[in-house]
Structure 1
Amino acid sequence: MTRAEYPWLLPSDLAGPAGPGRRRRRTVRDWLVDTVAFAGAAFIGLLAAEASRRADNAPAAVLADQLLGATACCALWFRRRWPVAVALAVCAVDAVAPAASGAVLVALFGVAVRVPFRRLSLVGGAALVSGVVQAFVRPDPEMSTLAAITLGVVLLLLVTGWGMLVRSRRQLVAALRERAVRAEAEAELRAERAQRAAREAIAREMHDVLAHRLTLLSVHAGALEFRPGAPPAEVARAAGVVRDSAHEALQDLREIIGVLRAPGDPGDGDRPQPTLATLTALISESRAAGMRVALDDELTGPADAVPAATGRAVYRVAQEGLTNARKHAPGTETAVTLRGRAGEGVTVEVRNSPPTRPVPRVPGSGQGLIGLAERAALAGGRLSHGADPDGGFTVRAWLPWPA
């Protein structure tokens, strides 16, 4: 239950901070509780006043007892704002007016709920003293002094224990709520870090590819510069290569805009980049590691026709899906499916059958999928993942493949 869902059911003590210079407003639940407490204190006060009337006290004493009891009950409406002061005032009245006994019990309960034990012990001692003084000043004609004192002590202890139990429960709920908020914030931070790491990895890959294209462009442009007398056909062919390389470099540059490269990384621009053509090698490595992997390639057209950025994304999706299957469902069958054609996009799906035995949760699970979703979004595609009805797990991504 949260305050946003049911604000009128929560006590004001659990409703969160009230803001600087402002008191917490009573909720509907607070009004109901205060009304019931007032009614209960008034009922006990009426019983005590009736006992005082039957004890042949003077009418003036009975009237004063009733007025003091009513005043003590009315003071209970301020116990949320001044719990200790109201409780001490009611205890002072209870020493000479038995009609205030119910108000003492309610006020002591409110103090036990709201203040630490040191201040509670002060109020409890005052309530105990007032009960003993009342037993001698206004004795009950139907009960001995010792019995009256014993009954009063038992009632005070019961009310105090109940209030301390409620206070402990509220503190536990507040601690659990704070822990849940902190855990949610940490999860969001981990997700942001995973997204940032995925962006940085994509930026590094795209930077390497862009550097390669620019290098080719520079080489062919240099050949044209140093061979001005080359045959027209050779010049035209070199110019076409320069044009195509410049166009591809421009496409890569558009993709890398907005993605920052992680500072301080070592230069690794010469490393080979995975493509769709290297997917079969990944499947072979997984099989060599003991996995049962089936590849269903339904692509229309050669793998080399798929754009390099899309091929890398497909490779990474398949790689992460196989890694998750190996960690969370070892020994099961895994199927990798490729579908698509130019103009319609590429769909890659990795599905593993349900695990045959319980597998413990691996720390950090889910971060790779967050990175994959970020990679697919940056490539202009989308990614979905989730458990199947039979207990398996499927990772599916669609990526654009221009015509």
Structure 2
Amino acid sequence: MTGDKAEQTAPVFTGRRWFFPSALIHELDPDSTRSGRRPRRTVRDWVVDFACFLFAVLLGVLGAETLNDSQSIPHALAVTDQVLGALSCAAVWLRRRWPLALAAVMVPVGFVSETSGGVAIIALFTLAVHRPFRYVAWVGGAQAVLVPLYFWWRPDPDLPYLAVLVLFVVLTAATVGWGMFVRSKRQLMLSLRDRARRAETEARLRAEQAQRLAREAIAREMHDVLAHRLTLLSVHAGALEFRPDAPREEVARAAGVIRESAHEALQDLREIIGVLRAGESDEAGRPQPTLAALDTLVAESRQAGMKVTLDQCVTDPAGVPASVGRTAYRIAQEGLTNARKHAPGTEVTVSVTGGPGQGLTVSVRNPAPEGDVPHVPGAGQGLIGLTERATLAGGTLEHGPASDGGFEVRARLPWR
């Protein structure tokens, strides 16, 4: 099970990690990096960083040639400019770890060093990729403010002052826009990852809930079926125990009922265990009983020695929906089982009435037993299960003592 979950949550790019930035891999798959340490650079990171370094060095070399050709710049200032440019090019390798610090430092450095212009552009782009827009706005705004002062201090001999300002403002805006576009693409991938993981989690929860509901339904079936069969066994075994001098025919009939009930209970138990093992629904195995099987249920109860009166007034018995008929059958079965355990010897009345559009009413009622009745322990789980069954079918179920001291279970089920 653990292996299956790991395979479900594994990133889809496992075989192409070299193609993704290390920061994105860390966000998509945090378990791939050890805690407390930064993720290792991928092949793509090394290629991009080396390309940025070459770009910064190329612009630095072009700026150095311009400084050497200019006669208005002192030699000491030109040397200082080139030293700062070399240090800035080396600092490009730190742009992933400290993007904000590097971009902030490059604002004053780029103002006094012409050879550091490429590094300033790279640092601004990296800041736009890795940090929110408010940081980019502060750094980019500072650079935009210093651009007029820079070209007033160092005018370009080939372009007019206004044209140079417009060019650098457009370059800065393009750099910021490109970096924000890359950041938005990464955030989109992260959001799609989160959505996929949420979908997998919700699907797993739905599957677990469906499995739990199926097992609860199977448990209810187990209680309803086996309780009825085992109660028959208990009644006939008790009769044989308290009447050892019963006629041979009656003993043989009771033994036959015990054998048949035990066989049915074992068969039902095998089917339920088979469903649990196979993971199928509770509709596997034999067809589930419906309202048409109510006569057979009453006949079995009478054969066990109970006094049962069946009052069935249904307009269209064949048109009863299967789910409603099955619920009605289980209610009658549980009611007869409880009456046999808690009110032996009484006459139980099972009433089923209704029709299409009117609903179906199922009632199981028994009077108060006469004499002392041995206490039979019960947890009331059967009545709780019946209430859940009726609620799931869209109906209601009521149970409790009657006015004459007996007990009644009454359910109303929809029949549209």
Name the TM-score class by shorter chain.
Answer: 0.5 to 0.7
Q: C-alpha displacement at 1:157, in angstroms? A: 0.9
Are residue 138 (structure 1) and residue 148 (structure 2) matched? no
Identity %: 55
| C-alpha separation in 1, matches of 2:168 and 2:36 | 39
Following superposition, the deviation at residue 100 of structure 1 comes to 0.7
TM, length-normalised to structure 1: 0.59
Distance apart, 1:192 and its partner CA = 0.8
Write out per-residue CA displacement over residues 262-312 of structure 1, whole angstroms, 9 at most, x where no aligned residue. Answer: xxxxxxxxxxx9943879x9xxx9x989xxxxxxxxxxxxxxxxxxxxxxx
**2:111 counterpart (95, 98, 115):** 95
Give the equivalent residue in structure 2 for 1:47.
Answer: 62
| 2:287 corresponds to | 276
Deviates more, 1:240-249 or 1:140-149: 240-249
* Letter of the structure 2 residue corresponding to residue 187 of structure 1: A
Match of 1:68 in 2: 84
Shift of 1:83: 1.2
AA in 2 matched with 1:23: R
Structure 2 counterpart of 1:11: 21
Residue 249 and residue 34 in structure 1: after superposition, are their counterparts in 2 closer, same or farther (change >3 A)?
Answer: same
Q: 1:121 to 1:111 in 2, by over 3 A?
A: same
Gaps of 5+ in 2: 1-10, 277-283, 293-315, 321-416
Count matched residues. Answer: 272
CA distance in 2, matches of 1:213, 1:278: 15
**Which residue number in structure 2 is paired with residue 37 of structure 1?**
52
Q: Residues 205 and 232 (structure 1 numbering): CA distance in 2 closer, same or farther, change over 3 Å?
A: same
TM-fit CA distance, 1:150: 2.2
Tell me which of 124, 128, 150 is aligned to 2:140: 124
Answer whether contact 1:9 1:28 (CA < 8 A) is retained.
yes
Q: Name the stretch that deviates more: 205-214 or 169-178.
A: 169-178
3-state SS in 2 of match to 1:95:
helix
Give the counterpart of 2:179 among 145, 158, 163: 163
- Farther off after superposition, 111-120 or 16-25: 16-25
Amino acid at match of 2:233: L
Letter in 2 for 1:2: V
TM-score by length of 2: 0.57
Partner amino acid for 2:157?
P
2:125–2:175 contact (8 Å) kept in structure 1 = yes
Once residues 186 and 288 of structure 2 are traced to their aligned partners in structure 1, the CA distance between those partners, rounded to angstroms, is: 61
Map of 1:323-334 to 2, 5 A cutoff? none
Is residue 216 from structure 1 mapped to residue 227 from structure 2 by the alignment? no
SS at match of 2:39: coil
CA distance in 2, matches of 1:288, 1:225: 45
Distance 1:196 1:63, change over 3 A: same
CA–CA distance in 2 between the matches of 1:95 and 1:4?
44
Contact 1:98 1:134 (8 Å CA) reproduced:
no
How far 1:210 moved relative to its partner?
0.2
Work out the CA distance in 2 between the residues paired with 1:143 and 1:250.
Answer: 99
Conserved? CA contact 1:207–1:256, under 8 Å = no
Q: CA deviation at 1:159?
A: 0.4
Structure number with larger C-alpha Rg: 2
Work out which of the residue numbers 175, 180, 199 in structure 1 matches 2:191: 175
Instruction: Tell me the alpha carbon deviations over residues 7-53 of structure 1, each in whole angstroms, 9 at most, x when there is no partner.
Output: 33222332224675433333322222211111112212212222222
Number of the residue aligned with 2:12: 2
Shift, 1:231, TM fit? 4.3
**Equivalent-residue separation in structure 2 for 1:94 and 1:276 (angstroms):** 84
Structure 1, gaps ≥5 residues long: 261-272, 290-403
Q: Is the contact between residue 125 and residue 176 of structure 2 (CA under 8 Å) also seen in structure 1?
A: yes
Match of 1:111 in 2: 127
1:51-89 Cα deviation digits (max 9, x unpaired): 222223555444333221121111121122221211121
For residue 28 of structure 1, what is the amino acid of its counterpart?
A: V
The letter of the residue matching 1:54 is: D
Tell me whether 1:28 sits opposite 2:28 in the alignment.
no
Is the CA contact 2:271–2:285 (under 8 Å) kept in the aligned structure 1?
A: no
Task: Give 1:204 deviation, angstroms.
Answer: 0.9
- Report the counterpart of residue 349 of structure 1 in structure 2: none
2:344 aligned partner: none
State the partner residue of 2:164.
Answer: 148
* Counterpart pick for 2:245 among 220, 229, 245: 229
> What's the CA shift for 1:147?
2.6
* CA distances 1:163-206 after superposition (whole Å, capped 9, x unpaired): 11222222222122212211211111111111111111111112
Q: Secondary structure at the match of 2:262?
A: helix
- Over the aligned positions, Cα root-mean-square deviation in angstroms equals 3.3
- Distance in 1 (CA, whole Å) between partners of 2:236 and 2:217 is 29
- Could you tell me how far apart the structure 2 residues matched to 1:137 and 1:170 are? 40
Q: Which has the higher contact order (CA 8 A, sep 6+)?
A: 1
- SS for the counterpart of 1:201 is helix
Listed one character per residue, the Cα deviations across residues 361-392 of structure 1 (whole Å, up to 9, x for unaligned) are xxxxxxxxxxxxxxxxxxxxxxxxxxxxxxxx
Shift of 1:109: 0.5
Cα distance in 2, alignment partners of residues 92 and 212 from structure 1: 89
Contact 2:22 2:42 in 1 (8 A): yes
What is the distance in 2 between the residues matched to 1:2 and 1:69?
42
1:128-153 Cα offsets, whole Å, 9 max, x none, are 23433331333333233333222211
Which letter does structure 2 place at the counterpart of 1:210? L
How far apart are residue 209 of structure 1 and its match? 1.0
